[in-house]
Amino acid sequence: MDNINKIMLQSAEAFKQYRKVSGKQKAVFLRAIAEEIEALGMELIHTTMEETNLPEARLLGERGRTIFQLKMFADLLEEGSWVEARIDTAQPDRKPLPKVDIRKMSVPLGVVVVFGASNFPYAYSTAGGDTASALAAGCPVVLKGHPAHARTSAMIADAVLRAVERTGMPEGTFAHVDGGNGFEIGKALVMHPVTKAVGFTGSFAGGKALFDMANQRPEPIPVFSEMGSINPVVLMPEKLSTSSESIAKEYAGSITLGVGQFCTNPGLILGVDNADLQNFIKVLAGEIEKISPSKMLNAGIYQNYEGKKTVALAQDDVTTEAESLVEKTDTIQGLATVASVDADVFLANPTLHQEVFGPFSLVVKCKDLTQLATVIQHLEGQLTATFMATETELQANDDIVEALRNISGRLIFNGVPTGVEVCYAMHHGGPFPSCTDARFTSVGPDAIKRFVRPASYQSFPDSLLPAELQDANPLNIWRMFDNEWKK
């Protein structure tokens, strides 16, 4: 582990300089990373296709999203108001006590360790959202590559390092650690004393292990783990009575999108057991049977899918409604599957509440809306929750809407959870166990807030303050100045 120690110490030294780099300079750096990734061209795409079994079109889209994320944070840095400057000027004549000058803004935490994700080799890995937001915040990044796409990770890491050199960033601003010998390296990175935060996307077991490690340190640190979700979908009776067929077809596509390997895959569907729900199940089953199987990301994920699916289907009173009937042409192709169970059984069996990562969904048949609400109350934290309903049903069932909101980070009305827009209003996170901290998003500009902390300056000479807090506002950013928003 001597090499890990060397990398971490170099990153800590880089932080001393990188934290002082202006927003505009960091923006140039992030744009340079985007340009270097784009310059890798189709060689990168073809390498990733070989390593992950993902199709070209999907990877082209994901690369575009990754480049967009980097440029989005560059725009954020150039504008500058993200630091949330607050200025309360002195009132020396205030009675009974004078008021001192106090100014506050967000400052970077320090070295951030990021773990690459298996299911998004670009957008959630080497130069993905965690890395981009940490670098934007002013934090050096030590990236542990995912072994499932080691060559892809190395190629992108080289692109980032070229951008470091090209823009004159401090050596150690970014470092790449090979993904082999995963547990020991991961533990060494998290436990190293210079590490100040961790970003992770993956399994509950992996994310919780990192969280526990971080809290066992002499100095506990934040771990921002996204750990999976079954993303419940509620089918309300009135909506289903007029749209059961179209909803079923829409959800067949959502369940099997990307071979079900999205963290927002709809793994649980709740409805009141009646003729319309039975028709929904029948149409959904018919669509699932026609889905052609595709290779999953790797053999490990395929085996995990098959294992958890087998366990779920073997539970008492669980009915397999459909499995893809299209013949497999490869051993690691995941067969899309839909099952159903009565709500009484679901409530009594915690095994059925667990995520099956892949093209699988379980329909829970409830006696009435009261039992449906009870099922929601027994669900754990989720990334998303969806309400398929008429506007009248939405208004009349505020208790169900609130129950869904209380367990999810993103509440969806008449749509599918798959597809995460990168924008200011997006919240991609949720209550435990979907994430370790529901207050923060891993997608969109607000992701930067994970890697900063507030710091106040009291009675400082104006010339020694950060530019963001100086009286003249040289950066021309929005600030709260004596309780008023001003430029």
Q: Which of 36, 62, 263, 323 is catalytic?
A: 263
CB 381 within 8 A of CB 405: no
Which helix (H) or strand (E) segment holds residue 271: the answer is strand 268-272
Question: Is 84 annotated in the active site?
Answer: no
d(CA 271, CA 289): 21
- The alpha carbon of residue 296 and the mean position of all alpha carbons in its chain are separated, in whole angstroms, by 20
Strands 232-235 and 382-388: parallel
Query: For the chain, how big is the Rg over CA atoms in Å?
Result: 24
Q: Could you give the 3-state DSSP secondary structure of residue 183?
A: helix
* Cβ contact 129:442 at 8 Å: yes
H helix runs in 117-172, sequence order:
129-137, 150-167
Nearest residue to 67 via CA among 10, 22, 127, 107 = 127
Tokens read off for 348:
């009594």
Q: Hey, CA dihedral for 350, 352, 412, 68, is it positive or negative?
A: positive
Element (H, E) at 238: helix 237-256
Residue of 36, 51, 62, 226 with catalytic role = 226
Q: Are 302 and 268 in contact (CB under 8 A)?
A: no
Q: How far is CA 30 from CA 2, 15, 428, in A?
A: 30, 16, 22
**366 catalytically annotated:** no
Rounding to the nearest 10 degrees, give the CA dihedral for residues 202, 172, 74, 154: -50
Burial of 419 (0-12, 13-18, 19+ CB in 10 A): exposed
Dump strand ranges (E) for 85-231.
86-88, 102-108, 111-115, 141-144, 174-177, 195-201, 223-226
Tokens 């298996």 map to which residue? 118
C-alpha–C-alpha distance, residues 481 and 487, integer Å: 9
> How far apart are alpha carbons 448 and 431 in whole angstroms?
19
What amino acid positions are annotated as catalytic residues?
226, 263
